[in-house]
Homo-oligomer: A and B are copies of this chain.
């Protein structure tokens, strides 16, 4: 690395002050066209461009939005590929950030070192998006009084008094359960949830109970949960569920509602290996509507949520807060939508690219609200 040149060299080389160079490089105005040309020429010649770091210090604006997410990866192959959800959030955040002229700084909070990492990231950002479970609520609050923070869970946001972006888990899942009970007439439903500390999973289970109860059926008190929102997790949970039922001399549930698509895929695998036909013997549903839901056989009935949009909306919220400052807590709840395919028992075209529902399509919408 040759000695990096600074704004001083450029100023001298172009015969103006550093202030003027700064003006030319910034979006600002306040210089003649001739000056602009000379400065740019000098910059090009010296192969210089302004230091984002110095610029950030001086202007109190780094052009960086941080994104903290929980590290769900492990060494197990099946688990590792799992966090497609986070990948989508990252994509959405990136795109909204770029639209606003800043970049996204990502970091996974691994276990105990979470707080330190979070501080390190926060200290470089103008604002922060925090995926649910990436941070405990106390640390969340700490960060929130330093930079604008938006948490990806309406629930958590409410508790910590932090801006939030979430989805309407309840409507989605209730719609799904209503479909299973009313249209297909299933009466023995089981819920296989994700991590017990996932706000989304908790909300989905609550909605599941409501839906089941609303249909006049017996609602289980706790989900058949497992450690992860993963294919492996789903497989293990369903295997356990089946074992337990078998030990009790009971038959498998008529329908298994899973916490997300990946778990549902795991469920499909276990059921298939136990020679239980889906949806003939057991119906299965997911949540998320990832690409895999279309590709797996039978194709997966699920609840779609706009994951990329969640990430994008969160960044927009941070940016808005950056501009606004005061104003009371804001919360955005994005809509979900039931997507009917084959795994619930619906039958329709099985073309490779059939998409979504038909008659029974359900849509639940909720706008943003204060």
Contact = CB atoms under 8 A, between A and B. Distances in A.
Contacts of A292: 291-292, 295
B352 A273 contact: yes
Contacts of A64: 105, 124
Copy count, this protein chain: 2
A63 B116 CA distance: 13
Nearest to A97: B107
A132 B193 CA distance: 39
A106 B106 contact: yes
A81 B288 CA distance: 13
A353 B269 contact: yes
A53 B123 contact: yes
Interface string A83-120: 11001001100110110010111111010000001011
Contacts of A122: 49, 52
A257 interface: no
A107 B291 CA distance: 23
A124 B114 CA distance: 23
Interface stretch (A54-62, A221-229, A338-346): A54-62
B296 A120 contact: no
25 contacts: A1-B145, A1-B147, A47-B142, A49-B123, A51-B57, A52-B122, A53-B57, A63-B120, A73-B91, A90-B90, A90-B106, A94-B106, A94-B107, A94-B108, A95-B108, A98-B107, A98-B108, A103-B117, A104-B105, A104-B107, A105-B106, A106-B106, A292-B292, A295-B295, A295-B296
